[in-house]
Every structure is written in C-alpha cells, then in structure tokens.
Amino acid sequence: MTHPYRTAFVIVSLWLAGLGAAAQFGKVSATYPQLVAHYADYPFGVTFLVSVVGMVGLILGIVAGLVVARIGARRAILGALLVGAGVSFLQSLLPPFPVMLAARIVEGASHLAIVVVGPVAIASIAGERWQGAAMTLWSSFFGVTYALLFLIAPYFDVAGLFRFHMGWMLVMAAILWGILPKSVGLSANAPQQGLWAEHLRIYASPFLAGPATGFVFYTVIYVALMTVLPVHAAPGYGELLGVVPPLVSITASLTMGVWLLNHMPAWKLARIGFSIAVLSGLMLWALWDNGLGQLLAACSVSVGAGIVQGASFASIPQLNAAPADRARAAGAIAQMGNLGTTTGTPLLVLIIQAFGASAGTLAFIVGFSTMGILVLTLQARRRQTRST
C-alpha cells in the first residue's frame, strides 16, 4: 500500500504542475504592458497572445483527452512540462512576433495536456476518501496562480519571469519523473475512433459530458465578472473587486466545498453553487450603488462559483470509473472551459450595453446560473434513465 504522505506529495506535486500550466496563461497577462511596448507594431496581436492558448484548448480539448487515454498520464504530463519549459525559454528571448505567436500555439498544446492529465492522475491516486478534497485542490490552480503571478511579477522583467517559469516547469518535470507511478491514468484498451466519432460519443454521454456541460456556465460567469465588475465598481472599490472575490472563491471551494462533497454527490453540490450565484446576483443588483454592498455581493457570487468549480472536477471520477473515460471527461472540461472563458466577457459587455450595468449583470448571472442548474438536472435524469 502506498504511504499516505507519499500520496499527498504526489497530489501536491501534480497541483504545482497545474500552477505551471495556469502560468502559461497568466505570465502573458501579468506582463501585458511590457509586451505591448515591445511588440509595438502588433498592439492587437499581443491580445491574441493571451487568447490563443485558450483557443487551442477549445479546438483540441477532446483530442488531448483521447491522446492521454491512449498514451497514459505520466508520459503525457512529462512531455508537456518539458515542452512548456522549452517554449518559455524561447519566449524569454522575446523573438519576432510571428515566432512568439507560434510558440504560444505550441504552449497551448502543452497547457492542454497538463490540465487534462492533472485531474485524471489525481483521481486515480487519491482514493475514494480523499478524492473530493484532492480534486477541489486541483480546481484552485488557476486562481492561485493568477494571485501569485500578480504578486511576484513586479520583481521581474519579462525575460526574467519567463525564465522563472521555465525553471518551474523543469523542476516539476524532474519531481514527477521520480514520483509519478508509471501506470497512473493509463488505459491499454482505449478504443481507436475517429475524432468526430469521439466528440459525438463524449457529448452524447451524460457521464462523460456531465462535468463539462455544467462547468461551461461557471467559466462564462466567473471570468466575465472578474474582468468586467471592477470597471463598474463604486468609487474606491475597483481594485478590491478585482482581488477579493477570487480569493473568496478559492477559500470557499477548499473549505465549505470540500466538506459538502462528503455529504452529497458532486453534481448536486454544483447545482447548489449555481443556486447561490442566482441569489447573490439578486443581492448584487439590489446593492449595486453601495460600494461595500457591491463587494460583499460579488464575494457571495464567488462563493457559489467556487463551489461549482470544485464540484465539477470532483464529478469527473464520481461519474467515470475508467481512466480512459476520466481523460475524456477532463478533455471535455478543458474544451468547454475554454469556450466559456472565450465567450463570457464579450457576452457580458454586450448585455450591459443593452440593459445597463446593474440590470445587465443581474440578467447575465441569473440567466447563465439557471441554465447551469437546468443542464445539471437534465444530465442527472439522463444518467438515471441509463442506469435503470
């Protein structure tokens, strides 16, 4: 039997690798002004440097899940970490913009492999007792990374931060090479299907697609609110609205979310999270002109969002026992998550332009949270029908 301390070390190491994957997004966001200045001839192209990693995930999410299912989590994550380190070194040289853009596309594939492997490997290692807590820890990797990056970025120039990231990826590759079991997440009998058939199989299944089809509404809401709310904050509260709600979301997910996962199925907890977001959206609308009230309501929305986030990842192993199916479900979450992060902010901006800031934000939160509740309920009923 594996010693529990070793198991915990492996899980934390995978989470730390996840921080490196999230930094593949965040390092460009944290150095955005410097990159705009350096690539002055491509001002809008720098914005594309941020989004292209997510676009790779949107297009190739299922492909990544299929690849991991066939070659195994260990080989996939070690290869992705090494590729990510190499790409970061190239980027630290601040090459011509077309080269930088090509490097970001490659980095998108590296990022995608890590975020698919992470939940698959953790679910297979954690054991049933700690699975919910371990998957919730994994789900925090994006929020934790962004908070850390914006704390340390002022102490680096662009090249220095990218080299630091390179070093992080190399260290995590070395650690995981030494401790990650060779059999983790490996499926020797993953079926050989065409890509289109694989998409149809996954999204037709309420087990494989169940986590992703709820998660997409979380990503639509959360990223958009964290981007747009500070712009519409009451005087003196803009910075607080950008910093405090994400921290509240992570805290709620790792405390209340983990505790509740011991008392109910993950999909039901995700539905509760969306219900909290609906009520909090109403509170945000009612307190819109009160700075402190607006902040508290935004934190309440983040509590609901954090619960959905952790529960969505926890539902992957709850709904799918086979490693290959977990890889497919994780690939779908990556794909749908990138769909949500890509579309949420422009949708919120358009709704605010049409209905005003307070009413538009209310409609956005309540509308997409309600859709999340309905989809989770529908998928649960479909699973029940298939099980009977």
90 or 3, greater pLDDT: 90
Q: What is the pLDDT of residues 91-124, one digit of tens each?
A: 999 999 999 999 999 999 999 899 888 888 888 8
pLDDT of 356 reads: 93
The rounded percent of the chain whose pLDDT value lies above 70 is: 96
Q: Spell out the SS3 assignment of 288-344.
A: CCCHHHHHHHHHHHHHHHHHHHHHHHHHHHHHCCCHHHHHHHHHHHHHHHHHHHHHH
Asked if 273 and 222 count as a contact pair (C-beta separation under 8 A), the reply is no
Range of weakest confidence among 61-75, 83-97, 184-198: 184-198
Task: List the end-to-end C-alpha distance of the chain, in Å, as a whole number.
Answer: 36
Same fold, 4-179 and 195-387: yes
The confidence score (pLDDT) of residue 39 equals 92
Length of the chain as a residue count = 388
pLDDT of residue 1: 43
Q: Pseudo-torsion of CA 329, 49, 93, 168, nearest 10°?
A: -30
Q: 279, exposed or middle or buried, with CB in 10 Å at 0-12, 13-18, 19+? A: middle
Tell me: the pLDDT tens digits for 302-332? Answer: 999 999 999 998 999 999 988 888 888 888 8
Other CB atoms within a 10 A radius of the CB of residue 128 amount to 9
The CA distance from 195 to 134, in Å, is 31
pLDDT of 299 strictly over 90? yes
Kindly list the domain boundaries of the chain, sorted by start residue. 4-179, 195-387
Lowest mean pLDDT of 143-147, 173-177, 330-334, 366-370, name the range: 143-147
Average pLDDT, the chain: 88
The CATH number of 195-387, from 1.20.140.10, 1.10.760.10, 1.20.1250.20, 1.10.10.10, is 1.20.1250.20
Is the model's pLDDT at 240 over the cut of 90?
Answer: no
* Whole-number Å distance between alpha carbons of 27 and 104: 12
pLDDT-derived band at 66 (thresholds 50, 70, 90) equals: confident
Cβ contact 250:226 at 8 Å: no
What is the average per-residue pLDDT within 260-271? 93
pLDDT at residue number 188: 45
Topology classification of domain 4-179: Growth Hormone; Chain: A; (1.20.1250)
Q: Which of 135-139, 145-149, 174-178, 318-322 has the highest mean pLDDT?
A: 174-178
pLDDT of residue 335: 87
The pLDDT assigned to 377 comes to: 97
Q: How far is 199 from 326, CA to CA, in rounded Å?
A: 14
